[in-house]
Structure 1
Amino acid sequence: MAIKINREMAGDLNNPSSELLNHCINQHQSDFWRLEKLSDYYDGKQDILKRTKDSAAAPNNKVVVNHAKYVTDMNVGFMVGNPVAYTSSDDIQSILDAYTKVDIVSHDTELEKDLSVFGIGYELIYMNQEPQTGKVFADIKCIDPRGIFLVTDDTIDTNPLFAVHYQPVYNLQGAVDYYLVKYYNDNRVLTYRAASIGFGDYQLIKALPHYFKAVPVIEYRNNEERQGDFEQAISLIDAYNLLQSDRLNDKEAFVDAILVILGFDLRDGDGERLAKERLLINTNAPGESSVSYLTKTMDENSVAILRDSLLEDIHKVTYVPNMNDKNFSGNVSGEAMKYKLFGLLQLMSVKSRYMIKGLRQRLILFANYLEIGNNNVDIDGIKIKLKPNLPINTTDIVNQIVQAHQAGILPLKVLLSWLPDIDNVDEVLEQLQEEKEEAIEMNQKAMGVQSGDSHSNLDDPPDNEDDNQDNNNNQSDNQTNQKGDQENGQNKNNKKQN
């Protein structure tokens, strides 16, 4: 987790002292074994495997039911099974292209896994080079939280000061030869070599600038307490493993139970005959005789109740439902599934807030890098959306959109936002408008072909020459009519005078 120190006590951040590095590394090492245990539980290396018994002859089964992996894998798929969506009214294609180049979808999956297991995740943004072309680009990698940490000041803003990534370098015999320590501040990367971690001196190997204008290490939190998704259920996981292991131990002890024989005389060869023929003959005088096994009574019903209770508590504490439960049948609708996953949706609402905060810091670093090539991107208006990976009944949603649109109670832009796979509604509306215009144009062309050449140019402007000729003819006719009217009037006047 982030380590807080006083800015004045840190000294020169461009030339950190060995005392500063040792202090911060020791602080980080104090949480190492907790992170190691969480990693082991996800990998299936759980405490039941360390169980021992005083008697070597006693059954000692070690059953691991890996609920830790189940909880993490469910959360990862639920959170980032659908890629994170970035939308903006401005042009952000350059950042999206940079994300595509580094396969940001796979990176987010790995990051969310670290968050779910450790409760904390780190990513490093650095300058990389293409081996074929030699072109430099901004790359990104997840770093194991057991080998990296971020240092901030002790103000309420917790401004990042620097980050340290350390890792052992092994020789051919498998022993640690030395440690490689990389120090990142807001303008450079310093690489040190050290014989040990937490004490001693650090030998500077090289110093290189970077161009991200901030510490290129981002810390993500799973929640306020920085706890993993299954961390609070570890005792329940241990109890479940112990119960299942003891059930097998009891079964094995039942099979290997001691045989008690009363009232029989066993002679040489009777043991082999019993094992082969499964038969004993009482050769003694008539009297009481019996054969039985020495076992303890097993109450499977009580064990099953305890098992189901532990299983229910595990899913209750982690908010991850039991998908094998009968309530999750195949004919459950998407809306009904949301109510069954209500707890997981609430957990995601908390996790997504902390993750989006880190994703915005990632946008800033990539924008700072792109600015070097005069590729300025306005990231203030970018909206980040995490969509839960849920089964969705798209048919119902489309029917609701059609009904609401026909009723005219909501704008089409709002209705289209109901569809889960649409990130940019404006782009969809533009595509709809283009399709309508193309359909109208095709209809007009089809009508023109059917009606003949005389109507094939309905959309063309009228021919000016034909219009002028028609106007001239109309004017000539009007003048002729006026002349005829005048002559008729003159004749009438002459008749009256005569």
Structure 2
Amino acid sequence: MAIVVNREVAGDLNNPPEALLNYCIQQHLSNLGRLENLSDYYDGKQSILKRIKDNPSVPNNRVLINHAKYVVDMNVGFMVGNPIAYSAETNKNIKPILDVYDEIDIVSHDTELEKDLSTFGVGYELLYLNIKEDGTTQPTLKCIDPRGIFLVTDDTVDKNPLFAVHHQPVYDLNGSIAHYLVKYYNDNRVITYKTESQGWGSYSLIKALPHYFHGVPVIEYRNNEEKQGDFEQAISLIDAYNLLQSDRLNDKEAFVDAILFIRGFTLQDGDGERLAQEKMLQTTSFPNEVDASYLTKELNEDGVNLLRDAILDDIHKITYVPNMNDENFAGNVSGESMKYKLFGLLQLMSVKSRYMIKGLRQRMQLFENFLKIKDSSIDATGTKIKLKPNLPINTTDIISQIVQAYQAGVLPLKVLLSWLPDIDDVDEVLEQLKIEKEENIEFQQKAMGTQADDSHSDLDDEPEEDEEGEDDNSNIRKE
């Protein structure tokens, strides 16, 4: 979570005071419990697994249905299942940035980033310089767990970044914490400290290096305005569903292990084992008064199923993630009908994408700042960033609509091609179409020219004299 500090109080950002570092780390650690809980719920370490009953002899099943992981994985696939598309403005050059993105596998990075956003409500990425085998440097980036990093901004309306801190423990060979490393990032350098405790001790300087990004190389992404995870509002419903399913199994187990009530005679030694083995017990004492039955409670499965379905519907309603096992998601549903069934998820994506695009623009700006050292032509201002929802799409219908609209002259071809989900760069496709059309015209011209040569070649040649004519002429001349 971003921590707000007054710029004048912060002091010298190139040599931060220990009191400033301690204060900021303490503020970050105060929110650590919430982040740990969200991580545990995604990993399947939920409250139902900690359930303890007063009577240890009664059934205590702990059934876990991990809706938290389902919600996160669905959102990640829906948001970044299709690669994020970048389109430069006319006469603007962003190709060097996109080339670096391809080299560092930005698609996998975005997937990891969205997973942090969906789980914790906030995500952080760190930009740094990687030294390649040939000795050259390349800007790259990594996702950092929000439990170990934070961003500090000023207290103005714009919330300008001041610096970021990444703190992590260093373990010895016995698995104990030997000390902590604290890396401080401002807009021009990276300072590494060593400390014995988090948020309370003194700091020993290890090294200070420049980073050349001309800005704080840590970007904070927000999942929404409140910085909440996608399943955070539904944690109580997830607990209720797990509890209901666990008690349902407990009741079944108690029903199977019901107490046998026998009236009219007393079991002798060995009768219990014989009853369990032979499933039958005979007695001759008071045959008219003998009775045996199980002590059970009535199980109302219809009521339990009704309650389970109600809780399940509430989980999907609160998280906006639909139940894909629902009968409404049949295989024969059209793409347009599917959009209406996913309307809630599409609305959620529209909000999430706005906050994510804001961070993606900061990322491009930092990459531009570094790459401009070697290539001054790079300009990422005005770049269009588009997130495409990963939905089942009927491409045949889309192509038919494009052909009809193009023949009717309603929209330009560039706009129509952008309707296709698998096209990231429309200009590149138009250039390919232009080259292909020119090649086809050239091929047809060559083909027509060859055909013309074959059919009319005898017209351009001088006529051959007939042998008989030659003889006649020669005879005439002789005469």
Q: What TM-score, normalized to structure 1?
A: 0.89
Alignment partner, residue 14 of structure 1? 14
Question: What SS does the aligned partner of 1:218 have?
Answer: strand
Aligned residue for 1:427? 428
8 A Cα contact 1:123 1:219, kept in partner: yes
Does the 8 Å CA contact 2:264/2:286 hold for their aligned counterparts?
A: no
The residue that corresponds to 2:473 in the other structure is none
- Show the 5 A alignment for 1:92-131: 92-130=94-132
Provide the C-alpha distance between the structure 2 equivalents of 1:261 and 1:453, rounded to a whole number of angstroms. 110
2:319 is matched with which residue?
Answer: 318
**Identity over the aligned pairs, expressed in percent?**
73
Match in the other structure for 1:167: 168
Query: Matched residues in 2 for 1:408 and 1:362: separation?
Result: 39
- How far off is 1:23 after superposition? 0.5
Q: How does 1:17-32 map to 2 (within 5 A)?
A: 17-32=17-32
Q: Match of 1:340, as an amino acid?
A: K
**Aligned AA for 2:103?**
K
Local SS of the residue matching 1:287: helix
- In the alignment, the residues of structure 2 paired with residue 351 and residue 410 of structure 1 have an alpha-carbon distance, to the nearest angstrom, of 30
C-alpha RMSD of matched pairs (Å): 1.4
- Give the distance between the partners of 2:425 and 2:273, measured in 1 at CA: 82
- 1:289 CA drift (Å): 2.0
What letter matches 1:28 in structure 2? H
The 8 Å contact of residues 448 and 455 in structure 1, kept in 2 or not, is answered as no
Instruction: Indicate the SS of the match to 2:147.
Output: helix
Residue by residue over 1:286-324, the C-alpha shift from the partner in whole angstroms, topping out at 9 and shown as x without a partner, is 422211111111111101100000000000000000001
- The amino acid of 1:370's aligned partner reads L
* Amino acid aligned to 1:200: G
Q: State the secondary structure of the residue aligned to 1:358.
A: helix
- Are the equivalent residues in 2 in contact too, given 1:265–1:282 (CA < 8 A)? no
8 Å contact kept, 1:186–1:212 = yes
For 1:210 and 1:19, how far apart are their aligned partners in 2?
25
Q: Please list, as runs of the form range in 1=range in 2, the aligned pairs for 1:328-367 lying within 5 A after superposition.
A: 328-367=329-368
Partner SS, residue 190 of structure 2: strand
Structure 1 residue 210: deviation in Å?
Answer: 1.0
Alpha-carbon spacing, 1:268–1:184, altered in 2? closer, same or farther (3 Å):
closer
Q: Distance in 2 between matches of 1:446 and 1:197?
A: 78
Instruction: Work out the CA distance in 1 between the residues paired with 2:167 and 2:331.
Output: 49
Q: Which moved more, 1:438-447 or 1:208-217?
A: 438-447
Residue 433 (structure 1) shift: 2.3
Residue in 2 that maps onto 1:205: 206
Contact 2:85 2:425 in 1 (8 A): no
| Aligned match of 1:470 | none
1:28-52 alpha-carbon deviations (Å, 9 max, x no partner): 1110000000000000000111111
In 1, Cα distance between the equivalents of 2:418 and 2:270? 85
Partner of 1:267: 268
Query: What is the Cα deviation at residue 265 of structure 1?
Result: 4.1
> What is aligned with 1:246?
247
Shift in alpha-carbon separation, 1:225–1:266, aligned structure 2, 3 A: same
Whether the 8 Å CA contact 1:367–1:376 is kept in 2: the answer is no
Amino acid corresponding to residue 359 of structure 1 in structure 2: L
Structure 2: tracts of 5 or more residues without a match: 458-479
Contact preservation (8 Å) 2:35, 2:147: yes
Q: CA deviation at 1:453?
A: 5.9
Corresponding residue number in structure 1 for 2:467: none
Q: Rate the CA distance shift 1:286–1:182 in 2: closer, same or farther, 3 A.
A: closer
Q: For 1:455 and 1:216, how far apart are their aligned partners in 2? A: 73
Residue-by-residue CA offset, 1:431-482 (whole Å, 9 max, x unaligned): 22222222122112112222226879xxxxxxxxxxxxxxxxxxxxxxxxxx
Q: Out of 402-411 and 304-313, give the one that drifted further.
A: 402-411
Paired position in structure 2 for 1:472: none
Aligned residue runs from structure 1 range 363-442, under 5 A: 363-442=364-443
Q: Given the alignment of the two structures, is residue 46 of structure 1 paired with residue 50 of structure 2, yes or no?
A: no
Structure 1 residue 276: deviation in Å? 2.4
**Matched residue count:** 455
Deviations 1:30-86 (A, max 9, x none): 100000000000000001111111111111111110000000000000000001111
How much does 1:126 deviate?
0.5
- The whole-number CA distance in structure 2 between the counterparts of 1:41 and 1:180 is 28
Pairing 1:123-142 to 2, within 5 Å after superposition: 123-130=125-132, 132-142=133-143
The letter of the residue matching 1:431 is Q
1:149-160 matched pairs, under 5 angstroms: 149-160=150-161
Query: Which has more radius of gyration?
Result: 1
* 3-state SS of 1:452 partner: helix
Equivalent residues of 2:260, 2:295 under 8 A apart: yes
Structure 1 Cα separation of the partners of residues 181 and 268 of structure 2: 76
Asked if 1 retains the 8 angstrom alpha-carbon contact of 2:93 and 2:377, the reply is no
> Residue 334 of structure 1 aligns to which amino acid in structure 2?
G
- Matching residue's letter, 2:264: G
Q: Gapped runs of 5+ residues in structure 1?
A: 457-498
For the 8 Å contact 1:125–1:217, the answer to whether it is kept is yes
Q: In terms of mean alpha carbon deviation, does 331-340 or 218-227 score higher?
A: 331-340
Q: Distance in 2 between matches of 1:427 and 1:270?
A: 87
Q: Secondary structure at the match of 1:279?
A: coil
